[in-house]
A and B are shown apart, each in its own frame.
Chain A
């Protein structure tokens, strides 16, 4: 099973990359689960035609009880992808990190993996590794590998470096390892050189190079990924290449 966590600076395109990667895996015939780990709960919206799924935390807040089935807190989207959002507390209150851990415990109790039998699980995680809750997706039993989304912008690279260091801090704990970088281009001057310099200094591979494209915005406005909207476009093809590469690596490991 491929289990990936996607991290990166807020607003850098993690959800876009995750949803497109999920769609690419699905279009290659894989059973995919995408779990959005962000109180905003918008990770999977473009796999669902723009209609959001009820986040787990919203379900629990509204009903004051835990769900008893996966169906109550998930929706099946493009390519049969099972979409789940942890959601979070009311902004300004509670503890969003704890919400992620609670959701993961709940999904275990509901035997998500045993019942859905996924080939691929993607965790789309809020911004940085800010607390224990946001490290939960890289704990043993969850993601095996981390992909860091960054552009050539200074603050995005700064966040990427912090994430890489945070993951390395957990080396003794059998947590996930950083697989590499998704370079999500933002038309920054000398962008490729900057990202490559960071990757080299951190000893990381650039796993994918996603061009800046109006297609992404166009199809997101329609509640779609580019994989769904225009699978032949260059952006879609880059996600397909990444998915194929990760599948090949997983098969080689098996």
Chain B
């Protein structure tokens, strides 16, 4: 058995990623799954559920429906609910059972769109991939459907791409991001993620730069680069020093005449001494941004262990992509770092003598440590890591 987590949990799944990504856009998200499973996607993996309304439905798939391939029942239910709710769009995603029966999401989505006239996406999740994959396909689908060419905004307009409560504290993050943009003379255009509205997203092409804050936003940013010539920069403005660096990259990306992506890591990592004293475990863009922030604000060299989908471009050569508990455990036992910065549940796989600095990650530990999640954007991180 490979990739079995015996001690630590697994990250939120692709279905939760879809629900989280689309939560605030005014659409209707339907998960093809057994009744009762909505609590997984909408409460365990969703801090907004009790405070903010969103149309997230479960198809209540039964054994008989699965055996009979009773797609018509699902289609009629969705069409009926859509007529009542009049959503801006319909997203249909799934779970392991429809995967096993070969449910054709795209074909059913086309059928529903034909009957309702409402844009409908079939997002082929199956509960076995990471939330990054699900959120990524959801952001891409919204981008393809709603973003159209439009005049550029005055100055340097920036979209924030890929922020969800699965990676960032729900309360405060977007305010911090907007304040940081404002402090640096940029104007906020839209958030393709939490805090975003579909009206703002429709004007996303008026931005000069996309700021990708999670790998979940990368596919949408690539699409906007190819189709609207919007450059993108990857990074989260953690701390002061890295916030300044990131702002410079955004200015550079805005001034670039050719459509070419700008990654802060590819351009600056070579001169960084990555020590082994500190290891950060987490989503690639957040973790590498934090590593840069530690280096620039505190002179600490840190390596990243990324247990989630990413691209080599976003990591330094000393970072590692490790997906299995056994590999992460072996890495930490071999490297024996002085400090690991990670979700508190990683405590159980770090070796004796290594200190854990807890940085709760909602996609990993859910609501267990929600109150302790930290907003490190645009602040003096010495306060947190002193």
Contact = CB atoms under 8 A, between A and B. Distances in A.
Interface of A: 64-65, 95, 97-98, 100-101, 131-133, 135-136, 139-140, 170, 172-175
B69 A131 contact: yes
B108 to A, nearest CB: 8
Nearest to A94: B100
Contact of B104 (A65, A98, A132): A132
A7 B101 CA distance: 20
Given A131-B69, A140-B106, A95 B100 contact: yes
Given A98-B100, A98-B102, A101-B102, A132 B69 contact: yes
Given A98-B101, A135-B102, A135-B104, 6 more contacts: A97-B101, A98-B102, A132-B69, A133-B102, A139-B104, A173-B110
B141 to A, nearest CB: 16
Interface of B: 2, 69, 99-104, 106-108, 110-111, 114
Contacts of A95: 100
Nearest to A175: B107
Contact of B2 (A64, A100, A140): A64
Contact of B107 (A64, A65, A139): A139
Given A64-B2, A131-B69, A132-B69, A173 B104 contact: yes
Nearest to A172: B111
A14 to B, nearest CB: 20
Contacts of B114: 172
Contacts of A135: 102, 104
A132 B101 contact: yes
Closest 6 CB pairs of A and B: A132-B102, A173-B107, A133-B102, A132-B101, A101-B102, A98-B100
Nearest to B108: A173
Contacts of A136: 102
Contacts of A133: 102
26 contacts: A97-B102, A98-B99, A98-B100, A98-B101, A100-B102, A101-B102, A131-B69, A131-B101, A131-B102, A132-B69, A132-B101, A132-B102, A132-B103, A132-B104, A133-B102, A135-B102, A135-B104, A136-B102, A140-B106, A172-B110, A172-B111, A173-B104, A173-B107, A173-B108, A173-B111, A174-B110
